[in-house]
Structure 1
Amino acid sequence: MKHETQGQDGAESARRLSRRSLLKLAGGGAGLLALAGSGAITWRAVDNGVFAEGSGPAYEPWNLPVPTGRADLVRAAILAANAHNTQPWIFRVAESYIDLFADPTRTIGTIDPLLREQQLSLGCALENLLIAAPALGLHAAAELAPDPNDRGHIAHIELREASREASALYDAIPLRHTDRAAYRTDRAVPRETLDRYRRAAEDHGVSLVWLSDPEARHAFSDATVRATEAIIADPDQAADDYRWYRADWQEIQTLRDGVTIDASGQPALIRGAAKILPTTQQQNHDGWLRGTRDTQVSTAAAFGALVVADGNDLADRVSAGRAYQRLHLRAIGDGLAMQPLCQVLERADREESTGIGEDFSRELAGLFPGQGRAIMTFRIGYPTVAAPPSPRRAVEKVLI
């Protein structure tokens, strides 16, 4: 799942300037600073939010209030990790229950043809909601996939009064952001921490497999880079990925979704330049490939995979999303960063949905032999910078 999501989650990596574009920007005898002195360039920089990273109405939902009503559970839910930051959720709120539905209009098309990433995203939102309930003085019990005839009805959550309880996980909700930047290469994640996360995933009926030895890490890294190349070379997947990219400041504030430059993991100079000069789909994808190859897979302390018995079962997918969200919130408390890296899965889904081959499907099975079906993969490590937030739609936009 490309998350927040990705953004990667392939598209969750934001548009980057090609090396040629950067040379054109910084060269020509003027340089970036000289361009910044130009009135036109300065105005475009201001208009496109170069100096206002993570601000404006699109980012207000991250100021999570002390919960006072049922809608505040939804305010926590919408801050969940989700693929390409599509925010594919709808909520129906009543005094004694909340229903969670998939929004069929907010999909990633050929990037997610089997809706695996959408349903994982909805599981992440559900977990945030359940974590928020005790802070409001409620006990919440979720029934997954309550209607076998409606795969869009993700969960029915019964609410009843209980004592208010503080929670470190709830406090971490507004602090959790997908981190696409480099991770520290001089510090490994302790084995006991990885083991603790593995046991936590099992609480949701999901297996967490760590790829931490050099051979497994190399195999996953290589497959991820090749899958990224395959997505870029696939016209339909490339277009569907790019559709969720948001470059213009006003567009971000209006749509309040998608993957932004600020969340790309690139250095500040590159992000600022990319906001000033428009880039093409190919330049965006070239930057995504470079970031995947040169930063994301190369600096990960370890790679993780959430594995279930049946990769097509709705309840399994939602449970895996719940597990990922809780793991990421735990990671915040441990000073760790996480990012979904699901390109291999996205190509495997593409193969299954079209019959174009089984190259990545076989490769995925080879990475986790005899361990079930991997349905989400991610990297973990210690951060080098603070990850910025992604835009979020207002809670009123997701209620029915």
Structure 2
Amino acid sequence: MGTEPLDPVAAMTAYAAPPPRGAAFDAWRTWDGRDDAHGVIAAGILAANARNVQPWRFAVGEHATRIDVYADLTRRQGALDPFDRELYVGLGCALENMVLAARARGHEPGLHLVPDPDRPEHAAVLRLTPGERARSELYDAIPHRRTNRGPFLRLPLPRPLLDEIAALAGHDPGGPALLWHAEEAERDRVARLLVEATEAVIADEGQSLAGHRWYRGTDREIERSRDGMTVDTQGMPPLMSTLGKRLPAPSRRTADRFWLRNTRTVHVATAAAFGMVTVADADDPVERMRGGRLLQRIHLFATARGLAVGHLNMMTVRADRERELGLPPRFGKALEELVGDPGRQALVTFRIGRPARPAGTSPRRPVATVLGTDAG
């Protein structure tokens, strides 16, 4: 089985449903309409991010040659992300899209990561200087990328393909890296831990409440907020999704039980492999953003190859919660053992495989909404 699809366009579109109607999904249709800084930001807002909280704001300055990127601290996830791990990973994902879009639009991007302990919301500066237009397959995959929560086909991925994906990390020994858990015994071990971590999350009242805050059950809610988790992005068959939108919104406990059941019977049961982005210091905002850039490259590469990626962050979510509450580090130790290198730490975990059906499209706030002079 080769790594190159016979038809790249078909590979990218076969597993991503077209955006639904409504202004909440216009960002997916209009993202490539401008070549200026606003067009670069339009690509950034389509990036992967945990629970679709979209934790970013941007400011354009200096004759539209500078973009300041801010963490929107009003969109923190509380008990589900007590130390802002996922917030900064999401910013890194957005930055990767922006760098790719800048090159495709004829700019040479100069990226500087600038988190300041006294001003943690100011995350990065992207400077745009004139350059050659340079499109790439990763750039072309941006509007087709989706986080897939549905079943994957029970087909293994060839080792050369996994190695090609791992090579997206580059050759910096101190930078982010990709660790695979692809053999059956490894997959079984990771799957068991992910299910146990999900059980722990929903048993934690604070984490359960924090997650339910981002559920958008009706079209009106989606159009008003243009963020969060929706019925269409839960990986259900089309008929079930249609019925789900016509029924009353599920209670928090019902939604938690659905998530646990799907984690056990769909997400971990059908994964071809589990991937783990590792860094030297998972508490460092710069390393989180660098790891987020790698995660987004993985997403885009997978999209270009007709593969799908689904985030499975339950172990890191629980490890951070253990630290916050001073609990025994059950999942912290499990992550250390899975990484197996005292010089590396787990940042994010995901599953990968060949999707059985198209993934739904999440809503996005438009560029006009995320522009501002300051996100503090």
- Asked if Structure 1 and Structure 2 have the same fold, meaning a TM-score greater than 0.5 normalized by the shorter chain, the answer is yes
The match for 1:310 is 281
Contact 2:19/2:361 (8 A) holds in 1: no
Which amino acid is the alignment partner of residue 349 of structure 2?
T
1:1-400 equivalences under 5 Å are 54-63=20-29, 64-94=31-61, 95-145=64-114, 147=116, 149-185=118-154, 187-202=155-170, 205-278=175-248, 279-370=250-341, 372-400=344-372
Contact 1:53/1:262 (8 A) holds in 2: no
Q: Alpha carbons of 1:146 and 1:295: their partners in 2 closer, same or farther (altered >3 Å)?
A: closer
Contact 1:146/1:156 (8 A) holds in 2: no
Q: Separation in 1 of the partners of 2:315 and 2:254?
A: 21
Q: Separation in 1 of the partners of 2:314 and 2:339?
A: 16
SS at match of 2:208: helix
**Structure 2 unaligned regions, length at least 5:** 1-17
Query: What does the per-residue CA deviation read over 1:174-213, in whole Å, with 9 as the maximum and x for residues that have no partner?
Result: 100001100010x211111111111111357211000011
Contact 1:67/1:135 (8 A) holds in 2: no
The match for 1:3 is none
Q: Separation in 1 of the partners of 2:142 and 2:220?
A: 26
Q: Alpha carbons of 1:213 and 1:272: their partners in 2 closer, same or farther (altered >3 Å)?
A: same
The match for 1:21 is none
Q: Separation in 1 of the partners of 2:144 and 2:246?
A: 28
Q: Separation in 2 of the partners of 1:243 and 1:146?
A: 27
Q: Which moved more, 1:232-241 or 1:64-73?
A: 64-73
- Deviation of 1:163 after TM superposition, in Å, equals 1.7
- Deviation of 1:146 after TM superposition, in Å, equals 5.3
Which amino acid is the alignment partner of residue 247 of structure 2?
L
The total of aligned residue pairs comes to 348
SS at match of 2:82: coil
Percent identity, aligned pairs only, is: 41
Which amino acid is the alignment partner of residue 320 of structure 1?
G
Which amino acid is the alignment partner of residue 55 of structure 2?
P
- Deviation of 1:316 after TM superposition, in Å, equals 0.6
The match for 2:12 is none
- Deviation of 1:148 after TM superposition, in Å, equals 5.1
Q: TM-score, normalised by structure 2?
A: 0.90
The match for 1:30 is none
Q: Separation in 2 of the partners of 1:81 and 1:397?
A: 18
How big is the alpha-carbon RMSD for the aligned residues of Structure 1 and Structure 2?
1.4
**Structure 1 unaligned regions, length at least 5:** 1-51
Say which one has the larger Rg.
1
SS at match of 1:246: coil
Q: Alpha carbons of 1:67 and 1:170: their partners in 2 closer, same or farther (altered >3 Å)?
A: farther
Regions of 4+ moved over 4 Å: none
Q: Separation in 1 of the partners of 2:170 and 2:108?
A: 22
Q: Separation in 2 of the partners of 1:386 and 1:67?
A: 28
Q: Separation in 2 of the partners of 1:348 and 1:163?
A: 44
Which amino acid is the alignment partner of residue 319 of structure 1?
R
Contact 2:19/2:28 (8 A) holds in 1: no
- Deviation of 1:68 after TM superposition, in Å, equals 2.4
Q: Separation in 2 of the partners of 1:234 and 1:203?
A: 40
- Deviation of 1:53 after TM superposition, in Å, equals 7.4
SS at match of 1:154: strand
Q: Separation in 2 of the partners of 1:263 and 1:365?
A: 31
- Deviation of 1:171 after TM superposition, in Å, equals 1.2
